[in-house]
Structures are given as C-alpha cells and as structure tokens.
A and B are shown apart, each in its own frame.
Chain A
C-alpha cells in the first residue's frame, strides 16, 4: 500500500477541519475550545504524520487525536466531564463516531460552505436571534426578555430559522441556488 506524503496527509486532514471542530464541540461543548483542540491536534499531526497508516482513513486517524486532545483539555482545566458522568461522555463519543461516516463528513463540509450563503440571506432579527442563541449561549428566556417577546415565540422563530436554513442548504446542494422559502425571516409581533 503506497504511503502518503506529509503534504497529502496534511491536505486531507485540513479538509475535515470543520467536521473535526464539530466533533470536538459535541464532546466539550465550547466552540472556542473545540477550535483550539483541533489546532493542537493538527500540530501533533505535523510532527507525527509518519505514524499514519493507510488502512485507516485520514479523518478517522485525526479524529482520534482530537479525542485525546479533548480529554487532555477537559482534564487540564479540572473540569469533571459531564459533572462526573464519564459514561455519558463516552456515549456521546460513540454516537458521533458511529453515526457520522466519512461520507456524511464530506457532505457536511459541503453543507458548511453553502450555509454561510444562506445565513447572509436572513433578516437582521433572525441573525440577532441566531447569534444570541448559538454564539452567546443565551437561553430562549433571556432572548425573549431582551426582545420583549414570549419564550414560545423565540423558540418557534429558532425552529423556523433552522428549517429554512436547512432547506436553503439542500437547494444549494442540489445545484438549485435560490432565496430562502419564507423570504427574509423576521420575528412575529406576538406568540405564534
């Protein structure tokens, strides 16, 4: 079996960067930390690329490094994994590794590229809710209080945003670029 060169190994590894960050994020639940973990895994990869064996996929091999780096991160910060529940941590890891195949990862990478274009088409209100919920980790109650809406209204808006973005991405994936089905998504004036 022909061994890959360092350049080829690194190139393939970098292709899965977004998927690996998502994998790390599912384990540590901190996006910034997930990016750092993957970064450190890549640094290790650059030193130990020769230990790669072609019988495994590059994604699987790098994911292993990301897993160990995640454990290291959680331990060095004295954080009990899942508040003492190591079993749940392992269950999550198994779920992510078993259910996310390499094909799904490749598709995921493509989806990520299209999602950016779809997000740009959102209205300012929808963007605000998206950033508040997913980036700033604000709960629906906090967002509702800030926007003077009901919690249900915010939750339904989030569902609509997610659904519309997924549909937009699917259209892109099918080479049918177009606007989001509902046009610009704005928050309702009251409960929905």
Chain B
C-alpha cells in the first residue's frame, strides 16, 4: 500500500515537475522572442539547447508553432503577406496611425501658418492703415509712396502719406475716404491724404478737387491744406483749387473755416460763399458766388468749362494782382 502510495506520489510529483519545467522553459522561450533575455538567461537557454535534446526539440516545436500564430495574427490584422514588408495601408482607417498622425501634423502646421499669416496681416494693416480707396480711375492716375510710383488701379487701397497724381485734362480719380466722404479729383493735380492719431488731412499740392464730406466727428475735423491755407471741414460740399500763388475755396453746402498760412488769419465760409487766399494780405475777402444751372450735373455736382473758366478767371485775377504788386515793390526800391 505504501509502495503504491509512494509511486502515485512520485508520479504526481514528476508530472508537476514536468509541468513546471515546461512552463519555465516556455517563459524562457518567450523572453527570447521578446528580446528580453538577460545574460544569465541567455547562457541558460544556450546550454539547454546545446545539451538537452528534449528542450531543443521543445524549442524547435515551440518556435514553429509560434511562427504559425504570428503569421495567423498578421493575417487577422491584414498585415502579413507571402512576400514584402508590412503593408500599413491595409490597416482599418480608424487604426491607420500613419495617416492620422500625418493629418494631425499637417493640420497643426496649416493652423499655425494661418495664425501667423493672420497676425502678419493684422500687424501690416495696423502699421499701414487704409485711409481711402480709389473708387474710379480714368486716364493716367498714379500713386506714389515714398519713392515708389505705380499706376493706380480701381479699388486701390490708399494708405497714409500716399500721393495721388492725376495727369492730363481727361484724367480723373474718384476717391472715397473711410467715412464715405467722396472726392472728385480731375487732372492735372496732385494730392496726398494723411491720417495720424485720428487727425485726417488732405494735402492739395496742385490742381483742384470737389468733395462731399460726411459730417465729421466732434472735435475731429478734417483738414484741407494747400500751400497758402488750411481749411477745417466739419461736413461740407465744397470745391477747392490751388496754384503756386493762390487758393480758392467755394463752399457749396456746409461750413468751412479757412486759415491763411501767411499770418494765421481765418475766415468762416458758409454755404454759397467763396474765398480766395493769396500771398498778400488783401487776398482773403469772403464773397458770395452764384450756383447756376450750368454748375450742376455730372459727377460731384460741379463740372463744365464755364465753371472752370470762372474759377480760373478768379485765380488769374489774383495772380495778376500779385504780379502788379511785386512790380510796384521793385520800382520803389524794395521799400
């Protein structure tokens, strides 16, 4: 009985031992395939393979079976083939890390570029704000900024200190300020529009323009500056022309305060009144002018050779008066 019991016990122990041994070997084999063997385990496996035929046979069988499972697992994942490398594009779309990662990176790059671009544009417009826009261009119209001159185009954005030049009698530019004030600028003429810290200035350097100005904000009038004068515009339709010796301002509707640059003398010019400002002290009388039918029609309300000739006539009168005064001054010996 005892013998039988010992045999059974021995058999059980043997089976247990074999089972444990098999499990230990399997763990060793798995470590080999995962590449996590340390030096001692590597030596142990090497010795087992060299000197233990059972383990060697077990290892070979284990390896072949493992290869079968790897191949089947690869087929399940859709990535194993008879030849060739792993086809990552065979992965389901939701698991396609390559596409997902690249798409995310591209989206991040695009978003970054958009933000940088947006900031750059904002900074550019902040540094070079739009003060006006060319609504219409006829003939030869040029814009100059610093030393660069370009032919103007319809819709051109005008920034502060940019000069507009209209060449030729047939040429014309229609300009809209930011507040929708409208300026008709026929040839030949040159003007510049500036805006600094909310102060808007139209510098009429040569020629003439007609304008319908919107009502300006309180305390922030628009200024028209010529070589001889400075006019404060509060919301007016007017015409203004300048020559090297005189400036004539005609107010169609509204109120303009004009100041002579020579001595700072100023005059208020109301609707249907005009003033001529020259280089001499006597050239600043405010007078009534008549707005006849021949002055109306067309763009800006003022056009036609008759109006222009009357305007020019007034300026010629002023110029002649100025020349006579100069001659008298020279004859008298400069006293």
Q: Which residues of A contact B (CB under 8 A)?
A: 17-19, 21-22, 25-26, 29, 31-32, 35-36, 38-39, 82-83, 85, 87-88, 91-92, 94-96, 98-100, 104, 108, 111-112, 115-116, 119, 127, 130-131, 133-137, 139, 162, 165-166
Q: Which residues of B contact A85 (CB under 8 A)?
A: 39, 42, 46
Contact A134 B69 (CB under 8 A): yes
Q: Residue of A at shortest CB range from B67?
A: A22
B52-98 contacts to A (CB < 8 Å) = 56-57, 59-61, 63-77, 79-86
Contact status of A131 and B76, CB under 8 A, knowing A22-B63, A88-B42, A88-B46? yes
Beyond A26-B67, A165-B69, 12 additional contacts (C-beta under 8 Å) are A31-B70, A36-B83, A83-B42, A85-B46, A99-B57, A99-B59, A111-B68, A115-B72, A119-B75, A127-B76, A134-B66, A134-B70
Q: Which residues of B contact A (CB under 8 A)?
A: 32-35, 37, 39, 42, 45-46, 49-50, 56-57, 59-61, 63-77, 79-86
B34, B73, B74, B79 — which one has the most chain A CB atoms within 10 A of its CB?
Answer: B73
Contact B68 A135 (CB under 8 A): no
Shortest distance from the beta carbon of B46 to any chain A beta carbon, whole Å:
5
Q: Residue of A at shortest CB range from B48?
A: A91
Shortest distance from the beta carbon of B251 to any chain A beta carbon, whole Å:
84
Contact B71 A18 (CB under 8 A): yes
| Complex Cα gap A130–B81 (Å) | 17
Shortest distance from the beta carbon of B95 to any chain A beta carbon, whole Å:
11
Shortest distance from the beta carbon of B188 to any chain A beta carbon, whole Å:
80
Contact B86 A91 (CB under 8 A): no
Contact B83 A39 (CB under 8 A): yes
| Complex Cα gap A139–B79 (Å) | 20
Q: Which residues of B contact A127 (CB under 8 A)?
A: 76
Given B39, B56, B64, B66, which contacts A98 in the complex, CB threshold below 8 Å? Answer: B56
| Complex Cα gap A8–B45 (Å) | 39
Contact status of A135 and B73, CB under 8 A, knowing A85-B46, A88-B42, A95-B56? yes
